[in-house]
């Protein structure tokens, strides 16, 4: 596997090959994908999440142009897309470019001096696998626009604006977790984020010679993710609306305590009650998992991951057969601290915390069980917590 700096060189060389190598100084940035350790479907409920930026990222190289045009080259797809900053519109052909277009438009709308540029990018974040390749592309584009345009914008502002671009320009109603961790992750740390106040804390992870974060890809991608995601969001909102009648201080599920929920649960339609129960208990699991991490109690952390999966499966109903087979196979391996689905669900990946010295056995076992039951060939990515979006100097 090529390492990050080697890939950055490759991206720079491709930029020069495609756009001519005149006398330009090249800027390079990276933005990572992510895996969420715990706190699923809580971000859009003003709740808590605990994601990690992984050492798989999008790398973008660019130089400024003297006109208002943006010329893009997606190396991995061997596709180009160009547009003028005077008029940024959605591209129905090269749909990947909409993540970049959306971010540049949001920056412009905030009055920031976005400049024309030639840019090329490549990544090793698996696409549509629930590891936030789109958030990584948004964050890389935003940071590149800042570097090329030489303007100031705080990383948290860039995160908010990237989420806005995805909501309004791309049309995906995501929460803030993915952009936030891609922007503000830190090597060796998970990031505990309060999605209401956007206050965050970097929580050190145990040393990587003790355990590994193993992401396992079911290789299942389902079209229904967006509609099911939006449906879950409205069910949570419906729950808040009813609970507010009894608990006027509640503006999001984040405000509902376990005790209040137990008292008023019977006022909710059954399905809505299940959705709310997941979110309310999941928020508590995040808080408990932070305590466990700080106490170096990785076994307890693993138990909370398992409980999170069960709640996503039974109450929030966003798991699927393949994710359940994969997590169950993982739970059976001695040395696995915890395993759960991660991301929006209905396919994509599981996240596993595995003792470093059993990783090979873990992947072999899970692969065998999973392939035997589903006929699919899963992929595994052994990851480390890495830094969020930043400039790279070669």
- Taking the C-alpha atoms of residue 108 and residue 282, their distance in angstroms, rounded to an integer, is 37
- Closest contact distance (angstroms) between CB of 279 and ligand GLA is 10
- Closest contact distance (angstroms) between CB of 178 and ligand GLA is 5
Q: Give 67 or 314: the residue with its C-beta nearer to ligand GLA.
A: 314
Among candidate residues 55, 178, 255, 386, the one labeled active-site is: 178
- Closest contact distance (angstroms) between CB of 345 and ligand GLA is 7
Q: Give 286 or 382: the residue with its C-beta nearer to ligand GLA.
A: 286
Q: What is the DSSP string of 113-181?
A: ----EEEEEEE-SPTTSSS-HHHHHHHHHHHHHHHHHT----HHHHHHHHHHIIIIII-----SHHHHH
Residue 312: burial class (beta carbons within 10 Å; 0-12, 13-18, 19+): buried
Q: Give 41 or 265: the residue with its C-beta nearer to ligand GLA.
A: 41
- Taking the C-alpha atoms of residue 42 and residue 44, their distance in angstroms, rounded to an integer, is 6
- Closest contact distance (angstroms) between CB of 343 and ligand GLA is 5
- Closest contact distance (angstroms) between CB of 175 and ligand GLA is 3
- Taking the C-alpha atoms of residue 236 and residue 44, their distance in angstroms, rounded to an integer, is 9
CA angle 18–108–196, rounded 5-degree value = 110
| CA 349 from centroid of its chain's CA atoms | 11
β-pairing verdict for 117-123 and 48-64: antiparallel
Query: Residues near 353 by Cβ (< 8 Å), separated by ≥ 6?
Result: 37, 211, 212, 213, 214, 298, 301, 302, 305, 336, 337, 338, 339
Residues in the chain: 394
Q: Give 165 or 177: the residue with its C-beta nearer to ligand GLA.
A: 177
Catalytic annotation present for 55 = no
Q: Give 43 or 386: the residue with its C-beta nearer to ligand GLA.
A: 43
User: Which residues of the shown chain bind ligand GLA in the complex (CB under 6 A)?
Assistant: 40-41, 43-44, 174-175, 177-178, 343-344
Q: Which residues are catalytic?
A: 178
């Amino acid at each position: 596997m090529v390492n990050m700096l080697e890939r950055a060189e490759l991206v720079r060389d491709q930029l020069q090959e495609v756009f001519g190598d005149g006398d330009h100084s090249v800027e390079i940035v990276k933005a990572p994908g992510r895996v969420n350790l715990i706190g699923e479907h809580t971000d859009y409920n003003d709740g808590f999440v605990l994601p990690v930026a992984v050492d798989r990222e999008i790398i973008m190289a660019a130089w400024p142009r003297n006109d208002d045009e943006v010329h893009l080259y997606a190396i991995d797809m061997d596709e180009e897309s160009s547009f003028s900053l005077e008029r940024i519109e959605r591209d129905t052909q090269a749909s990947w470019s909409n993540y970049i277009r959306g971010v540049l438009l949001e920056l412009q709308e905030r009055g920031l001096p976005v400049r024309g540029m030639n840019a090329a990018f490549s990544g090793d974040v698996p696409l549509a696998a629930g590891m936030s390749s789109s958030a990584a592309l948004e964050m890389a584009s935003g940071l590149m626009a800042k570097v090329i345009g030489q303007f100031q914008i705080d990383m948290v502002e860039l995160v908010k604006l990237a989420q806005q671009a995805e909501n309004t320009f791309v049309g995906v109603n995501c929460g803030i977790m993915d952009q936030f961790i891609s922007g503000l992750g830190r090597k060796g740390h998970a990031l505990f984020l309060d999605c209401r106040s956007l206050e965050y804390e970097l929580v050190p992870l145990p040393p990587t010679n003790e355990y590994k974060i193993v992401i396992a890809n079911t290789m299942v991608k389902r079209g229904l993710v967006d509609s099911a995601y939006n449906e879950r969001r409205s069910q949570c909102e419906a729950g808040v609306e009813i609970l507010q009648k009894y608990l006027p201080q509640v503006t999001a599920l984040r405000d509902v305590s376990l005790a209040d929920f137990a008292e008023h649960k019977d006022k909710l339609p059954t399905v809505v009650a299940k959705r709310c129960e997941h979110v309310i208990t999941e928020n508590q699991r995040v808080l408990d998992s932070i305590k466990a991490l700080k106490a170096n109690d990785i076994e307890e952390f693993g138990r909370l991951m398992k409980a999170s999966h069960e709640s996503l499966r039974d109450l929030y109903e966003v798991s699927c057969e393949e994710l359940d087979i994969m997590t169950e196979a993982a739970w059976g391996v001695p040395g696995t601290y915890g395993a759960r689905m991660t991301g929006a669900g209905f396919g994509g990946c599981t996240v596993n915390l595995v003792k470093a010295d059993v990783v090979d056995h873990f992947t072999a076992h899970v692969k065998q069980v999973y392939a035997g039951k589903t006929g699919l060939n899963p992929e595994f990515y052994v990851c480390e917590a890495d830094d969020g979006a930043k400039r790279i100097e070669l």
